[in-house]
Structure 1
Amino acid sequence: MTVYVDDMRARFGRMVMCHMFADSSAELLAMADRIGVARRWLQHAGTHREHFDIALSKRALAIKAGAKEITRSEVGELLALRRERQEARP
């Protein structure tokens, strides 16, 4: 199981943001807790698009804690696989 952070750079006020995904909800929430991201910021909970938007300072903490850096194209591949798995569930 893995947590991922992408290379997106989107401005949100004075912050620059990226996405944090994981292979499981539990793993994503555990990393959010570990790096100090409030669970209330979870987006698309329970779907293949489940993620957090995080500031680059939190991205650095996630990488230090073991998150894998991925590109935008890898995000697309990850989401497609997650969607397929979700649709295959009964």
Structure 2
Amino acid sequence: MTVYVDNFRAPATVGRIRGRWSHLTADTVEELHEFADRLGHRREWFQARCKHGSCPTRDGVCVHWHYDVVDRKRTEAIALGAQPIDIREMGALISARRKALRAGEGQ
């Protein structure tokens, strides 16, 4: 299982949580959910819908699927084995998902 956490670190306030947010994703949705559960994330925090509506989907899940994590959870994810990646590498993962879905392979 490979789980990734990028270095986006965008400042934002979500609900009452203020922090710098990054993205947690994995090679498969199942791997991501398993890892997010270990981090203490709720399934309802999973983001699987494209804001633009133009991305290919599989079973209603957009290629941008991820969980958002604040810095503390990003550090914890890395300690649990997530691979730290650059935001550009996250873009490459999403591009590969898009290409696979358009080719009919999907995940």
- 1:44 counterpart residue number: 48
Q: Report the equivalent of 1:25.
A: 29
**1:34 corresponding residue in structure 2:** 38
Deviation at 1:38, TM superposition (A): 1.0
**Distance apart, 1:63 and its partner CA:** 0.6
Query: Unaligned stretches of 5+ in structure 1?
Result: none
Higher-Rg structure is 2
Q: How does 1:58-69 map to 2 (within 5 A)?
A: 58-69=73-84
> How far does residue 84 in structure 1 lie from its aligned partner after superposition?
0.9
Report the identity percentage: 40
What TM-score results when the alignment is normalised by the length of structure 1?
0.91
Among candidates 65, 69, 72, match of residue 54 of structure 1: 69
Q: Unaligned 5+ residue runs, structure 2?
A: 50-60
CA RMSD of aligned residues (A): 1.4
- Alpha-carbon distance in 1 for matches of 2:71, 2:43: 17
**What is the TM-score normalised by the length of structure 2?**
0.77
Give the structure with the larger helix fraction.
1
Matched positions, count: 90
